Amino acid sequence: MQGFSHPLIEQAQALLHKYYGYSSFRSGQVPLIGQILQGQDTLGIMPTGGGKSICYQVPALLFQGLTLVISPLISLMKDQVDGLQRLGIAATYVNSSLSFPEVKERLQKAAQGWYKLIYVAPERLESPSFRTLLQTLPIAQVAVDEAHCVSQWGHDFRPSYGAIAPMIAELPYRPVVSAFTATATTEVTHDIIRLLGLRQVQPYITGFNRENLTFSVLRGENKRDFIFRYLSDHLDESGIIYGSTRKEVDQLADFLSRKGFSVAPYHAGLSDEERNRNQEMFLYDDVKVMVASNAFGMGIDKSNVRFVIHHNMPKNMEAYYQEAGRAGRDGEPSACILLFSPQDILVQKFLIEQSPMSLERKSYEYKKLQAMIDYCYTPQCLRHYILRYFGEKASGHCDDCSNCLDDRESVDVTIEAQKIFSCVKRMGERFGTSMVASVLKGSKSKKVMNQGFDKLSTYNIMSEYKEKEIVDLINLFCAEGYLVMTEGQYPVLQVAPRAMPVLRGQEKVYQKVQKRQAQKKESDPSLFEALRTLRKEISQKEQIPPYIIFHDSTLREMAQSRPLDQLAMLSIKGIGENKYRLYGEAFLSLIQDFENP
């Protein structure tokens, strides 16, 4: 707690241990909590999983009045409040799922001091009658979650966030205002301060590095084949796969479901009932993998997401890092994999062009898209590229990303490259991927025959390959800059200058092939798996997501240290007094059975 002499700071640490089961704050949380306790407006820019919520929840326990939390997702409020209640913290929410009498009752109880925190959606603040009710509450702190939503330059702009500052101005006395986000450029940061009316605030950036995440960019892979292999090797792990369109999400979810994987789709085209059901199954571990559009994930507190796979390149680094950051919130090692193909660039440019944005905004979006494209192509350290993008100094190698630690095998595909480049040339550089692959395969389709391509020397010279395999190679060569795909509704292939030395036999071309990893299986049931089973049984009985009971990291530490009494159990990270009272005896009993079979 260096740097802060506030008399309440030691109490804050005691409350952290009592309720949350942690003996000390993370270094980035200390100054933020200190500022809030001193009554200063605060802006914290912390990576996903960095512990933003504790920064306003712990001060809320120490303030005399109520903390009003502005949270953007109605669907997750109940889970957030359930989690606090299981820690022994008095909290509630107000959203459209409640009737007006229920809303009025909760606000009356809040006025009487029943709660320390109350969660509301920003849209609620647009109602004059609701703002009038808020004026009767003893609000000591307004905490704004996902604060980047207030900025039109942010990647999740929500106009309703504009109602926050007017609401604060209408209160009888001004509370301390704290705002938090995971990703914000300098421009967005200035917008947050201005549009929320933060006073004398100095943004505090705790650092964007997530050491437990491993970043990978794979170019030219057959995406479905890779995902099939990856899920086959990680059957027991929870993950998210992001697609760029609703159609893509539905098709991929259907494909994986038919292959026997535990998946569910999520996108804005589904009904509210379908989205809520699928999200709940994912949160409760009834479904292992969520295949989703970017409509999914904001505010998701699920701690045991072990991988996030992007089926397509996102539109900018902010969106990518926020989505990828939903992996490993419990601090355990997790994978962030981006499957890139040049077609992704065309899709994102099309989406920008079709949007009703101003020319200035489109220019801004193109600039951010180029930074995302550069990330996909860079041979440099991926982790350090991300850190530099967000303004942190970084150089050298992390020795943990796909560029720094590439264990894939190199296969010589020079002959295949020469055949493909030659075929593109002989076809006049006027046709797309499918047509080129058909000619190389020796297809007898009308399209091929009518063009007279069966007379080309490159016709049928890759007959031993499936057309899909030829398409995969073409995509690889596009991703590596040997071939260029033109823009427009019907993109065609052209040979890039980089391919000429290959055609002349002066350079070789290699394809990286992913090594298959054997799935680790234990012949005997481990204590960790037994603890997970018990957690699942309790979650089903209490109808709450398993991670609200204990995070995977807590169960893993429990399995390693094997506590046999209350004192030893309370020394484990993530087990506070209330969590022990609710669940401690059941887990102790299981561990004792393992120790004394």
Q: Estimate to the nearest angstrom the gap between the alpha carbon of 379 and the chain centroid.
A: 23
The low-confidence residues of the chain, meaning pLDDT below 50, are 1-5, 518-524
Strand extents, DSSP E, 323-392: 334-340
pLDDT at 336: 97
pTM as predicted: 0.69
How confident is the model at residue 370, as a pLDDT?
Answer: 80
CA 540, distance to chain mean position in Å, is: 26
Tokens read off for 260: 């026997």
Residues facing residue 403 across a β-bridge: none
**Domain 410-513 = CATH 1.10.10.10:** yes
Contacts of residue 128, Cβ cutoff 8 Å, sequence gap at least 6: none
What pLDDT does 173 receive?
Answer: 92
Fold match between 213-407 and 410-513?
Answer: no
pLDDT of residue 9: 77
- DSSP category for residue 286: S
According to the model, what pLDDT value does residue 207 have? Answer: 78
Q: Where are the domains of the chain?
A: 9-205, 213-407, 410-513, 527-595
Q: Rounded CA gap, 459 and 522, in Å?
A: 51
DSSP state of 92: E
Assigned superfamily of 527-595: HRDC domain (1.10.150.80)
Measure the CA angle with vertex 36, ends 34 and 40; round to 5°. Answer: 110
- The hierarchical CATH code for the domain 213-407 is 3.40.50.300
- Mean model confidence pLDDT for the chain: 88
Tell me the pLDDT tens digit for each residue of 132-171.
989 999 999 999 998 999 988 776 788 899 999 999 999 9
CATH of domain 9-205: 3.40.50.300
